[in-house]
């Protein structure tokens, strides 16, 4: 908004690499216990001083919100795109299951879903982060519901249930699968569970 990214700053040039810090923090929260991971530890791992981190993100809540927003952009939005494709319900469902039971979307990303992890540890999050997670929840449910509605219109959704409930059901199963993966369960088993749980849908 106000600052030109090229070079018309006055003071000492900043060396803090925001993206690097976010990468480190995202992986840390993704792999570890969100509630037990301290800011000090993030500083240590990213090689950034504590005041530097506070200037960039205000506080722990700010960092975590930035992390979940980044996760949304990098991981969740592609899934949402997938749900809007013109493929059949079954094809999209298979893609969804494959995505949910494999690593996030990058080279060496941890098992499970950071968003699911944050949902589960709601009570340990700051205000801003919790609000963002809540927003993502609503987006996910809406995306599932619209997908089901479109599939119903195409006659590809067989189960006798409201789109609202179907969305809740799909969300619950995907979250559960992500949770199991994060706990270290065998991805093949988790995938099989999802297949059975979705077998009556279409």
Partner DNA sequence: AAATTAAAATACCGAGCGGTATAAAAATGA
Partner DNA sequence: TCATTTTTATACCGCTCGGTATTTTAATTT
> Based on CB atoms, which residue is closest to DNA, 10 or 107?
10
DSSP 120: H
What is the chain's alpha carbon radius of gyration, rounded to the nearest angstrom? 19
Q: Which structure tokens are listed for 201?
A: 């849908």
> Pick from 51, 107, 153, 160: which binds DNA (CB under 7 A)?
51
> Pick from 22, 34, 48, 136: which binds DNA (CB under 7 A)?
48
Question: Could you tell me the smallest distance in angstroms from the CB atom of residue 1 to DNA?
Answer: 14
> Pick from 14, 20, 183, 192: which binds DNA (CB under 7 A)?
14
CA distances for 59 relative to 6, 20, 50, 54, 128, angstroms: 27, 17, 10, 5, 11
Span interacting with DNA, options 38-46, 114-122, 151-159, 188-196, rule CB under 7 A = 38-46
> Pick from 20, 32, 33, 40: which binds DNA (CB under 7 A)?
40
CA distance 77 to 65: 16
Span interacting with DNA, options 53-61, 92-100, 165-173, 176-184, rule CB under 7 A = 53-61
> Based on CB atoms, which residue is closest to a second copy, 154 or 183?
183
CA distances for 84 relative to 72, 143, 163, angstroms: 16, 8, 15
Question: Could you tell me the smallest distance in angstroms from the CB atom of residue 127 to DNA?
Answer: 11
Contact status, residue 34 vs residue 118, Cβ threshold 8 Å? yes
Q: Is 59 in the site for DNA (CB under 7 A)?
A: yes
> Pick from 20, 32, 33, 50: which binds DNA (CB under 7 A)?
50
Instruction: Give the 3-state secondary structure of residue 22.
Output: helix
Q: Is 41 in the site for DNA (CB under 7 A)?
A: yes
Contact status, residue 198 vs residue 100, Cβ threshold 8 Å? no
Contact status, residue 182 vs residue 116, Cβ threshold 8 Å? yes
DSSP 75: I
Question: Could you tell me the smallest distance in angstroms from the CB atom of residue 163 to a second copy?
Answer: 14
Total interface residues for DNA by CB under 7 A: 24
Q: Is 13 in the site for DNA (CB under 7 A)?
A: yes
Residues that bind DNA (CB under 7 A): 7-16, 38-41, 48-52, 54-55, 59-61
């Amino acid at each position: 908004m106000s600052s030109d990214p090229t070079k018309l700053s006055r003071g000492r040039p900043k060396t803090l690499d925001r993206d690097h810090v976010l990468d480190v923090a995202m992986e840390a929260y993704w792999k570890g216990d969100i509630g037990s991971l301290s800011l000090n530890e993030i500083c240590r791992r990213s090689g950034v001083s504590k005041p530097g981190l506070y200037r960039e993100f205000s506080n722990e809540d700010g960092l975590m919100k930035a992390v979940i927003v980044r996760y949304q952009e990098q991981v969740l939005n592609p899934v949402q795109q997938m749900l809007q494709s013109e493929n059949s319900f079954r094809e999209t469902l298979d893609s969804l299951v494959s995505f949910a039971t494999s690593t996030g979307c990058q080279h060496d990303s941890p098992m499970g879903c950071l968003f699911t992890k944050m949902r589960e540890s709601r009570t340990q999050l700051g205000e801003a982060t919790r609000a963002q997670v809540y927003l993502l929840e609503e987006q996910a449910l809406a995306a599932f519901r619209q997908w089901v509605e479109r599939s119903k219109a195409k006659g590809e959704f067989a189960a006798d249930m409201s789109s609202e409930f179907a969305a809740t059901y799909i969300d619950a199963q995907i979250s559960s699968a992500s949770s199991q993966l994060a706990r270290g369960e065998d991805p093949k088993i988790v995938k099989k569970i999802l297949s059975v749980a979705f077998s009556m849908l279409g």
